[in-house]
Amino acid sequence: MNVCILGIPHDANSSHMRGAAEAPPLIRKELFSDAYSPWTESGIQLTRDRLIERGDIAFGEGDDWDTIEAHVSAAIDDGSPLISLGGDHAIAHPILRAMHRRYPNITIVHVDAHADIYDAYQGNRRSHASPFARIMEEELASRLIQIGLRTINDHHRDQFARFGVEAIEARHWHDGYPLELSGPVYISVDMDGLDPAFAPGVSHREPGGLSTRTVINLIQSIDQPIVGADVVEYNPLCDLGNLTATVAAKLVKELAGMMIVNAEATSLTFRLP
């Protein structure tokens, strides 16, 4: 079992400031740096041959959403799990369109300071504040579990009720929180789900967030097949000494490790009939 890595350098739907599109090469640089161990905490040696490099999407021709969906579909076509490097969070919508086609009953575990479930934000239905509204409208996930939230407003609460979202605020999250997952899991990590003390390189710093350790513990607690993940909203323009790139690379590493561990444990291949 190998894991695909795809860069999606797209930040045109960011509401406050751009910059997240610059992230993929910087995360890769840390991921493959000789300064760090290639071993995951879960016991997998993440040599380069275990990470299938799918490059960065070059945007320009055609609709960006269709382009993202096509690249993701191609990456997961052989049953490989995929980690997408954002880009802003808007890209989760076309990614999930592709994921849903292959895995119809996916559960999304979403780490974020924000619910990203506005019906529209600043008039933009593709806003990075809105992808989970589109995902739930199109029924691309069976469950949406949001973890680490600390900016909930009344509109979000209406959306949670409308879509049956399981929203767990940062103040209520703890190691060992029972998620009772079953079936394929997709993990979407907005770097601002972490506290800015750990990940300052984000466009919207929201104090009171999760520690790096807490997010890794969450990833390692998932005992179901992890078929896809994204690490989004790292904004190098806001970073301090590449700290957030290093944290993002660490999360990518632990995500890849658990993708391999769980796939080998369950011996599921997810090949279509």
Residues in contact with Mn ion by CB under 5 A are 112-114, 190, 192
Distance from C-alpha of 243 to C-alpha of 235, rounded to nearest angstrom: 11
Kindly state the smallest distance separating residue 76's Cβ from Mn ion, in Å. 25
Query: With respect to Mn ion, which residue has the nearer C-beta, 3 or 113?
Result: 113
**In angstroms, what is the minimal distance from the CB of 190 to Mn ion?**
4
Q: Which is nearer to Mn ion, 76 or 255 (CB)?
A: 255
Nearest to 128 by CA among 167, 160, 88: 88
Least distance to Mn ion from the beta carbon of 137, Å?
Answer: 20
Which CA distances in Å does 93 have to 117, 121, 129?
Answer: 11, 15, 11
Instruction: Supply the minimum distance, in Å, between the C-beta of residue 114 and Mn ion.
Output: 4
The minimum distance between CB 149 and Mn ion, in angstroms, equals 9
Is the CB of 69 or the CB of 112 nearer to Mn ion? 112
Residue closer to Mn ion, measured from CB, 131 or 225: 131
| CA torsion angle 17 148 84 102 (round to 10) | -130
Rank residues 14 and 67 by Cβ distance to Mn ion and give the closer one: 14
3-state SS, residue 83:
strand
The residue (of 113 and 251) whose beta carbon lies closer to Mn ion is 113
Residue 66 makes CB contacts below 8 A (sequence gap 6+) with 94
In the bound complex, what is the minimum distance in angstroms from residue 77's beta carbon to Mn ion? 30
> CA separation (Å) from 219 to 109, 121, 189, 252?
9, 30, 10, 10
Tokens read off for 107: 């559960």
CB atoms within 10 A of CB 117: 29
